[in-house]
């Protein structure tokens, strides 16, 4: 009897212990089930109520079903098609609550005349908050104004410009040009029939721009342009975070990605993991600057910002914003430029003639900053390239209050309003019947570069938020163009500027990269004058 009682007692105790151990799992399962039920109910409620911005128009149906992909390779090309067909150069994608425009008058309205009514807005900031935080590209008001004033003052400094120019010259002389030179005569499994190594020029430019921005902005040298070395985990994480952040903006309802973020599943889980690596890199950068002496230790931008900011999280956001502006946009613009140049060898010949005439043998074809400013045809060719392939294809604001656009389009408070720079470069109403042609001479008058209204060409934005790093970016890109075009012929392999294919991201990136064949040139011949 005593033994039986003991056995029964032990069994009861074991059963109780097992039940208690299962409680957290059962509770978790019930919680997940309840949450999914609530989420499903919310989505069904939205579907039943059919919000006022919902519609069954052809544009919204094509967007939701992706039927546009049967005719267009890229969403941006479909948008350009819609905007060309619109008499007002404005269309409304109701399911995104997004008004898109390629009308320069409307762009002027957004970026200048009614600037206060078209901030970045909380919905935009929420989309990019995990990656960009409180960085300059993701804030409005005092936070934006503080960063802009500080950045503008530092970027205009002659000392910083000289420092940046020296960094770019060093990277060209010590890394980029030798890398291209070595690619001209390799003999391995990747070689083509002409004996030249096939390079992914997009990858090369991304590495080059990464090295430059790290030196200029942080005073650190990652040595990324050594192709024998794998791209750092940070670079991969940054690219993934950029792609997934951009994908959030394509969701018809923010609740979709917000629910994924709450439950840490799918793309949102990958984004969180990528941002964690980005955070680690940014923390290491600031730690290294502190170790080297912080604000008093160097000419780089971060050292100068550290003199005014002590908040480490804020510094992290600034570091990431520098990376987005200084690496991705530069690499995107240069990649598109050399793709176009491969299709237009006459432009390359005209560039070589101008470089020889203006710079002679200055620094073995890598002229000074002052001489770069005198190369009007190079400047025109770069602007023409970015007209067709802007590094940032579109930019969105959110209406702070009800408004009516100059073309008569009514905009309700909270509506996303997007100017589409990629589409604007392909509008006959803006650039004439030859808008699809790569023609640098459209920017020249008597051999001198003549700019147009920034509201017609908003590649660097316009108005109050115009890019503060524009001059430094142009210097870097022109220095690369001069050095590469003078020393090499670049031929794109199985790629054409006529029908590009883009990968998703915050900046324009070619899907599959840009495979090229590189050939070394001898001393440039004269006789090709830039058109006027």
462 pLDDT tier (thresholds 50, 70, 90): very high
Judge whether 395 lies within some domain.
yes
- Give the pLDDT of residue 429: 95
Q: Are 508 and 243 in contact (CB under 8 A)?
A: no
Report the distance separating Cα 110 and Cα 105, nearest Å: 9
| Of 390 and 2, the one with more pLDDT | 390
Nearest to 196 by CA among 524, 485, 492, 495: 492
Judge whether 389 lies within some domain.
yes
Determine whether the annotation assigns residue 467 to a binding site. yes
Helix (H) or strand (E) holding 242: helix 233-248
483 burial via Cβ count (<10 Å: 0-12, 13-18, 19+): buried
DSSP SS3 for 505: coil
- Give the pLDDT of residue 231: 56
Q: What is the mean pLDDT of residues 119-134?
A: 90
- CATH number, domain with residue 442: 1.10.630.10
- Give the pLDDT of residue 514: 97
Report the distance separating Cα 119 and Cα 140, nearest Å: 6
Q: Is the predicted pLDDT of residue 72 greater than 70, yes or no?
A: yes
List, for residues 23-65, the tens digit of each pLDDT value: 555 555 555 565 556 556 555 554 444 454 567 899 999 999 9
Q: Is the predicted pLDDT of residue 19 greater than 80, yes or no?
A: no
Judge whether 48 lies within some domain.
no
| Of 64 and 297, the one with more pLDDT | 64
Q: Is the predicted pLDDT of residue 374 greater than 70, yes or no?
A: yes
| Of 157 and 482, the one with more pLDDT | 482
List, for residues 75-93, the tens digit of each pLDDT value: 999 999 999 999 999 999 9
Judge whether 51 lies within some domain.
no
16-25, 330-339, 375-384: which has the minimum mean pLDDT? 16-25
Judge whether 46 lies within some domain.
no
Q: pTM for the whole thing? A: 0.84
Residue in this structure with the two tokens 């959110």, named with its chain if needed: 398
Q: What is the mean pLDDT of residues 477-495?
A: 95
Q: Is the predicted pLDDT of residue 526 greater than 70, yes or no?
A: no
| Of 283 and 351, the one with more pLDDT | 351
**Average pLDDT of the chain to the nearest whole number:** 85
The total number of structural domains in the chain stands at 1
**H helix intervals, 410-527:** 421-424, 428-431, 470-487
Q: What is the mean pLDDT of residues 6-18?
A: 46
Judge whether 34 lies within some domain.
no
Judge whether 511 lies within some domain.
yes
Count of beta carbons in the 10 Å neighbourhood of residue 158: 7
132-146, 248-262, 338-352, 514-528: which has the minimum mean pLDDT? 514-528
Report the distance separating Cα 487 and Cα 519, nearest Å: 9
Nearest to 82 by CA among 55, 100, 106: 100
Q: Is the predicted pLDDT of residue 227 greater than 50, yes or no?
A: yes
Judge whether 393 lies within some domain.
yes
Could you please report the per-residue DSSP string of 264-308?
T-HHHHHHHHHHHHHHHHHHHHHHHHHHHTGGGS-SSHHHHHHTT
| Of 236 and 97, the one with more pLDDT | 97
Q: Quick one: how far is CA 512 from the chain centroid?
A: 16
Q: Is the predicted pLDDT of residue 366 greater than 80, yes or no?
A: no
Q: Are 278 and 322 in contact (CB under 8 A)?
A: no
**Region class of 146: left (phi > 0), else alpha (psi between -120 and 50), else beta:** alpha
Could you please report the per-residue DSSP string of 456-482?
TSTBTB-GGG--TTHHHHHHHHHHHHH
256 burial via Cβ count (<10 Å: 0-12, 13-18, 19+): middle
Structural domain including 80 reads: 58-187+194-520
- Give the pLDDT of residue 22: 47
Q: Are 450 and 384 in contact (CB under 8 A)?
A: no
And the tokens for 84?
Answer: 């060309």
Q: Is the predicted pLDDT of residue 232 greater than 90, yes or no?
A: no
Maximum distance among all Cα pairs of the chain, rounded to whole angstroms: 114
Q: Is the predicted pLDDT of residue 530 greater than 60, yes or no?
A: no
Nearest to 329 by CA among 151, 74, 137: 137
The alpha carbons of the chain give a radius of gyration, in whole angstroms, of: 27
Nearest to 81 by CA among 370, 427, 345: 427
Q: Are 102 and 85 in contact (CB under 8 A)?
A: no
């Amino acid at each position: 009897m005593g033994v039986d009682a003991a056995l029964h007692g032990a069994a009861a105790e074991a059963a109780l212990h097992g039940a208690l151990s299962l409680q957290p799992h059962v509770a978790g399962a019930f919680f997940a089930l309840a949450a999914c039920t609530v989420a499903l109910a919310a989505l069904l409620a939205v579907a039943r109520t059919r919000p006022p911005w919902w519609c069954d128009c052809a544009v919204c149906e094509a967007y939701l079903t992706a039927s546009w992909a049967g005719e267009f390779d890229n969403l941006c090309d479909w948008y350009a098609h819609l905007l060309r067909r619109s008499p007002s150069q404005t269309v409304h994608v109701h399911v995104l609550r997004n008004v898109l425009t390629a009308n320069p008058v409307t762009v002027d309205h957004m970026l200048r005349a009614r600037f206060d009514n078209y901030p970045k807005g909380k919905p935009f900031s929420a989309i990019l908050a995990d990656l960009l935080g409180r960085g300059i590209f993701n804030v409005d008001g005092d936070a934006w104004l503080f960063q802009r004033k500080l950045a503008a003052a530092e970027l205009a400094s002659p000392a910083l410009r000289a420092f940046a120019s020296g960094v770019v010259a060093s990277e060209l002389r010590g890394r980029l040009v030798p890398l291209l030179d070595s690619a001209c005569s390799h003999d391995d499994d990747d070689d083509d029939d002409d004996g030249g190594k096939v390079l992914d020029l997009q990858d090369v430019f991304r590495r080059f721009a990464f090295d430059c921005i790290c030196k200029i902005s942080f005073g650190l040298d990652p040595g990324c342009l050594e192709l024998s070395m794998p791209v750092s985990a940070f670079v991969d994480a940054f690219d993934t975070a950029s792609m997934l952040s951009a994908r959030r903006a394509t969701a018809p309802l923010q609740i979709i990605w917000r629910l994924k973020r709450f439950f840490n599943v799918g793309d949102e889980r990958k984004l969180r993991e990528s941002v964690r690596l980005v955070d680690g890199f940014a923390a290491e950068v600031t730690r290294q600057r502190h170790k080297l002496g912080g604000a008093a230790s160097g000419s780089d931008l971060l050292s100068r910002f550290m003199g005014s900011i002590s908040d480490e999280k804020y510094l992290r956001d600034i570091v990431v914003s520098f990376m987005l502006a200084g690496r991705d946009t530069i690499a995107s613009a240069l990649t598109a430029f050399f793709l176009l140049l491969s299709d237009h060898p006459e432009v390359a010949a005209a560039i070589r003639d101008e470089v020889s005439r203006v710079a002679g043998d200055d620094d073995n074809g890598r002229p000074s900053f002052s001489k770069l400013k005198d190369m009007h045809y190079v400047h025109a060719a770069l602007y023409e390239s970015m007209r067709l392939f802007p590094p940032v294809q579109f930019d969105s604001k959110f209406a702070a209050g009800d408004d009516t656009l100059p073309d008569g389009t009514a905009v309700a408070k909270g509506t996303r309003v997007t100017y589409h720079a990629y589409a604007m470069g392909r509008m006959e109403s803006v650039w004439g019947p030859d808008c699809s042609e790569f023609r640098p001479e459209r920017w020249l008058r008597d051999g001198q570069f003549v700019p147009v209204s920034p509201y017609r060409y908003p590649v660097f934005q316009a108005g109050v938020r115009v890019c503060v790093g524009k001059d430094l970016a142009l210097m870097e890109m022109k220095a690369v163009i001069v050095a590469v075009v003078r020393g090499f012929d670049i031929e794109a392999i199985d790629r054409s500027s006529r029908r590009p294919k883009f990968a998703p991201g915050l900046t324009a990136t070619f899907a599959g990269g840009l495979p090229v064949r590189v050939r070394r040139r001898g001393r440039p011949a004269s006789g090709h004058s830039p058109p006027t």
